[in-house]
Amino acid sequence: MKKLADKLKLFRVTFPLIFSTIKFRVKVFFYKISKKTTFFSGKILIFLFGLAIFFSLLFFFFLNSPSDFPVGTIFRVEQGSSLRSVSLGLKEQHIIRSRLAFEAFVILFGREKGVVFTDYYFEDKLSVYEVAHRISRGEHHMAPIVVTVPEGFTIAQIADTFAAKLTNFDKNKFTLEARGLEGYLFPDTYFFLINDDDTRVLSSMRENFNKKMLLIKSDTSLSRKTEKEIITMASLIEGEAEGDTDRAFISGILWKRLTIGMPLQVDSSSDTYKKRGLPESPINNPGLEAIKAAIYPQSSPYLYYLHDKNGVIHYARTFQEHTKNKLKYLTH
């Protein structure tokens, strides 16, 4: 019993010492671990910071758009152009900073054998990634330009209209190429790309005219008049009429004057006051309704007409009635 008591007494004395030793060693262990963790955390932070700087410099010097990026420019990729020649052209025009980055992205997009041939419009600054994406997929980003040519416009007026809309349109060249085509360029609403030129415009308007005339070919044949006579008369009607209802009546009056040998005397063509017959060529480019009116004139007892200050038409059977209409509607 005495031995057991001695052992308990010894345990009570030595246990705190053992516990303190274990506690101390545990503290030392975790202290060492924390020191190592702090060391490695510092290294990781330095590594991440360096990585961030690297990618920032990479983006700025290679992937970012150049500071002098030519916003609003059109870049043409010619048919058969190689990837290297395209990257060189982009670099020379300051659209990309790095040819290497551009070529790498294009290859990544699966177009290493070539790029898509077309014109590309850059409406804003783009990164090399975005430039490569567009060119590898043929995304030209050129919205159609809507151009409306009103009925009765002359070649000169048409040239002015397109010159104000299309950057590559040469007004003087168009006017020269369209010489002799007055009356044969169909007035309509057209859709072009901003880089379309005068040749493209002329071709489209001529093609449109031929398509429209094909629709009324049988009507033209039944009229027993030549295409030139119809288009020339239609151009006069277009210059004289104020609305669709006037066209057919004016057509009937003008054809009647031709039949009786009377000068046409239309204000839109001064030559018709000097000599009889139709002008040598159309005086403008008439629309489809005017052409149809020339083919199908409206018969009436009238030989004269005029428009008052409000554009309302007034007809007369004789010159005396016409004179009265002038005094009544044009002098007050």
d(CA 330, CA 305): 12
Could you report the per-residue pLDDT of 175-193, keeping only the tens digit for each?
999 999 999 999 999 999 8
Q: Which helix (H) or strand (E) holds 33?
A: helix 2-58
Distance separating alpha carbons of residues 152 and 279, to the nearest angstrom = 16
Helix (H, G, I), strand (E, B) or coil at 97: coil
pLDDT-based confidence at residue 286 (cuts at 50, 70, 90): very high
Could you tell me which residues are beta bridge partners of residue 314? 306
pTM above 0.85, yes or no: no
Do 76 and 96 form a contact (C-beta atoms < 8 A)? Answer: no
**In the CATH hierarchy, which fold is given to the domain comprising 145-215?**
Dna Ligase; domain 1 (3.30.1490)
Which range in 1-5, 35-39, 113-117, 295-299 is most confidently predicted, on average pLDDT? 295-299
3 state SS of 316: strand
Helix, coil or strand: residue 42 = helix
For residues 188 and 149, the answer to whether their CB atoms sit within 8 Å is yes
With CA atoms as reference, report the closest residue to 314 among 324, 305, 302, 323: 305
Q: What confidence score (pLDDT) does residue 18 get?
A: 46
Q: What confidence tens digit (pLDDT) does each residue in 118-162 have?
A: 889 898 899 898 999 999 888 888 878 999 999 999 999 999 999
Beta 145-148 vs 189-192: how paired, if at all?
A: antiparallel
Bridge partners of 193? none
